[in-house]
Structure 1
Amino acid sequence: MGKNITIIDYGLGNLRSVMRGIEAAGAQAVITGNAEEIAAADGIVLPGVGAFHEGMEQLGILRETVCGAIKDVPLLGICLGMQMLMDSSEEHGLHKGLGLIPGRVRRFPVVPGIKVPHMGWNTIRLEKEDCPLFTGLPREAHVYFVHSYYADTIPQYTLTSTEYIVPFASSVVRDMVYGVQFHPEKSGSVGLCLLKNFIDLV
């Protein structure tokens, strides 16, 4: 029987593109907002696009389900989904996150001539050599970003780093909780390899 990866549907996110990416990487993918199905998953993906406070509000009671499930299965947050893993965000006021990875989400500072959002291809640099999520990938790789806010955390939880106006954590890790600010489903062979690696964690 194939591995069942559950994509959390809370009303925000490119769910179908994430689903196609996971299926291309070799796993069965289910999109659901049902707490029981999420709790029974082999692995969980928390995608998302949009504002942080809207994401947390839309997630609602599923917050408890997600925080409970990670004791037994791996979780991958993508874009806004990664930001929601953090303690808090400064987007449109101060808002509390899931608190699964210590840190705060901050807006890129204004610099004349540099556009925000950070949109397009940029380099990620691996900061932890032995992380299974990046098995088979080079120390530096190009991936696709779309975001105006970034995760500010300490090196202990920084899996990859990227520079755009300021250095920031472009992916994070704590135990079986992973987050990527970029979109693996839009990042070609690098993103596909990362999704395969996540499936292998299940």
Structure 2
Amino acid sequence: MAQRIAVIDYGMGNLRSVAKAVEHVTAPGDEVLVTDDPTLILSSDRVVFPGQGAARDCMAAISDHHLNRAILDAAQSKPFLGICMGQQVLMEFSEENGGTELLGLYPGRVRHFPGGRGPDGTLLKIPHMGWNRVSHNHDHPLWENIDEGSRFYFVHSYYVDPDDGDLIEATTDFGVTFASAIGRDNLFAVQFHPEKSADDGLQLLKNFVNWDV
């Protein structure tokens, strides 16, 4: 059965690349719609929430597009995939810009990387940019056909630190061990960019498109 997948457009994020990657893994007849219309978002079968940039700018853009309620409702009612900033804003508070209130779907903070050196003595440059390994905490449908420890592409200076450790679906090491994926019920959110992560990234998007929640 054909489905509509909404990619939330709030004026920030690599929307076209995300939409094209999702289109690549959909079945004939499926529609991928980039939209800021709350009605269309909430009437879609699945929702992808991408984003990049500063937390305060992101929250301002979400408010300017009147999307706060639609994002929270979609995150609790249908298959929902958050990407990069689309993961971070699900927490309560970010340390960025001296402190920014977020959407508050889950208790927890977004923290700045401490930097320093890795176990091999390599200087850890911030932002964390490039390929890194993702270690699965649990079996999950979105990890299907993706090997444990596969590498995904990251670009970020902050990471989520949820109060509830059971939310964490995967971790990655960069000076600290951080939550590179979180999930609960119908929601899955990742810090890395699946649209930039070659075959494993496309596989994750395919798994999302076919996820039977």
Question: What SS does structure 2 have at the residue aligned with 1:201?
Answer: coil
CA distance in 2 between counterparts of 1:168 and 1:70 reads 22
State which of 55, 58, 66 in structure 2 corresponds to 1:55. Answer: 58
State which of 186, 190, 197 in structure 1 corresponds to 2:200. Answer: 190
Is the contact made by 1:100 and 1:177 (CA closer than 8 Å) also made in structure 2?
no
* Counterpart residue number, 1:137: 146
Question: 1:124 and 2:134 equivalent?
Answer: yes
- Fraction of identical pairs, as percent: 43
Is the contact made by 2:76 and 2:187 (CA closer than 8 Å) also made in structure 1?
no
Q: What code does the residue aligned with 2:57 have?
A: E
Higher strand share: 1
* Counterpart residue number, 1:19: 19
Is the contact made by 1:22 and 1:28 (CA closer than 8 Å) also made in structure 2?
no
* Counterpart residue number, 1:102: 107
Is the contact made by 1:3 and 1:199 (CA closer than 8 Å) also made in structure 2?
no
Alignment of 1:66-77 (within 5 A): 66-77=71-82
Q: Which structure 2 segments of 5+ residues have no match?
A: 118-122
Question: What SS does structure 1 have at the residue aligned with 2:145?
Answer: coil
Question: 1:168 and 2:178 equivalent?
Answer: yes
* Counterpart residue number, 2:120: none
CA distance in 2 between counterparts of 1:179 and 1:102 reads 15
Question: 1:30 and 2:33 equivalent?
Answer: yes
CA distance in 2 between counterparts of 1:188 and 1:101 reads 30
* TM-score computed with the length of structure 2 as normaliser: 0.90
Q: CA deviation at 1:155?
A: 2.4
CA distance in 2 between counterparts of 1:110 and 1:22 reads 33
Q: What code does the residue aligned with 2:124 have?
A: I
Q: CA deviation at 1:165?
A: 1.0
Q: Which structure 1 segments of 5+ residues have no match?
A: none
Q: CA deviation at 1:2?
A: 2.3
Q: CA deviation at 1:110?
A: 3.3
Aligned residues: 201
Q: CA deviation at 1:102?
A: 2.6
Is the contact made by 1:5 and 1:30 (CA closer than 8 Å) also made in structure 2?
yes
CA distance in 2 between counterparts of 1:200 and 1:93 reads 40
Q: Which portions of structure 1, spanning 4 or more consecutive aligned residues, are displaced by more than 3 angstroms? A: none
Q: What code does the residue aligned with 2:127 have?
A: P
CA distance in 2 between counterparts of 1:167 and 1:69 reads 29
Task: Look at both structures and tell me which one has the larger radius of gyration over its CA atoms.
Answer: 2
CA distance in 2 between counterparts of 1:21 and 1:161 reads 24
Q: CA deviation at 1:58?
A: 0.5
Q: What is the root-mean-square deviation in Å for CA atoms of aligned residues?
A: 1.3
CA distance in 2 between counterparts of 1:32 and 1:158 reads 29
> Greater CA deviation, 160-169 or 100-109?
100-109
